[in-house]
Homo-oligomer: A and B are copies of this chain.
């Protein structure tokens, strides 16, 4: 079913650019071009965009979704583990929000089924935004600009966390990055990739990387053990999927990260321990595939990976409705 849709969309997209033969060859590749988002509610998107940028959803009034999933920087914060309320050090690397609608589940351990469920997590996490859903709702309802917009979008006077997370998730659904050079190549533009980049892709497939990093997001669609052939010495206490399933067999299983825009989403791995793509490719080869890539092989795979950077989300910085006199004020320095 999924393949069928991909074929028809690819065929539609290819139009002037190439022939149906190319579209079919793209459909036969283990990586599929990113499709533009479908069935989007634009009113929810605009509201969700404001909420995504609003630090008043945190206790301090300082941390917004965009603080750690920064849309100027590949949808992440480019530090090993994030900074939370009162400068607490987070336990895990912030995964990119870009193309996250394509993930099988959310968070590294998949503990949230979808973006809507995920969005509620950091707001109430004492180590992150350190607020509560009740306080967030009270804040939002006290702001006339928000109250009006929630009513317009959802048709109800009362705001609940459901509407808040639904709007944020709808905005996040728009954060896909089509039109990477790799996708252009998949869709028939033969000269979109250099010979080295194509050789890197061939190596990526033949070495087995593609076994986990496949599909539209080049990852994000399965959980796999970190350190399959050789154990991984993590610099983070995170246990992975077992924290959700309670099964010892799931220990150190993490969601395979997307490789879309991977040039922008450094540092790498769930503990953010790998600073460069060369380092990440080397470690992945050894630990997951029992393979030591030569310097040249590594460079070619890295060259291929850099072709996965797509069009970054482009939108006007939202202007937030101001707090009213009755809006509770943030408490950044409260004990």
Report how many copies the assembly holds.
2
* A314 at the binding interface (Cβ < 8 Å): yes
Contact between chains at A79 and B60 (CB < 8 Å): yes
* A214 part of interface (Cβ distance < 8 Å): no
Roughly how many angstroms separate A266 CA and B86 CA in the complex, as a whole number?
Answer: 22
Given A264-B322, A319-B312: A275 and B71 interface contact (C-beta under 8 Å): no
Judged by DSSP, the binding face of A is loop
Are A314 and B312 closer than 8 Å at their CB atoms? no
**CB 8 Å contact bits of A166-179 with B (1 = contact, 0 = none):** 00000000000000
Query: In the complex, which residue of chain B has the Cβ closest to the Cβ of A266?
Result: B323
Indicate if the CB atoms of B319 and A317 lie closer than 8 Å. Answer: no
When the two chains form their complex, are residues A83 and B332 in contact, meaning their CB atoms are under 8 A apart? yes
Sort chain A's interface into a size bin.
Answer: 35 or more
Q: How far is the CA of A319 from the CA of B98 in the complex (A)?
A: 13
Q: Is the CB of A330 within 8 A of B79?
A: yes
CB <8 Å contact, B314 and A73: no
Pick the residue among B72, B276, B317 that contacts A72 (CB under 8 A). B317
Q: Please tell me if the beta carbons of A320 and B73 are within 8 angstroms of each other in the complex.
A: yes
Residues of B with C-beta under 8 A to A149: none
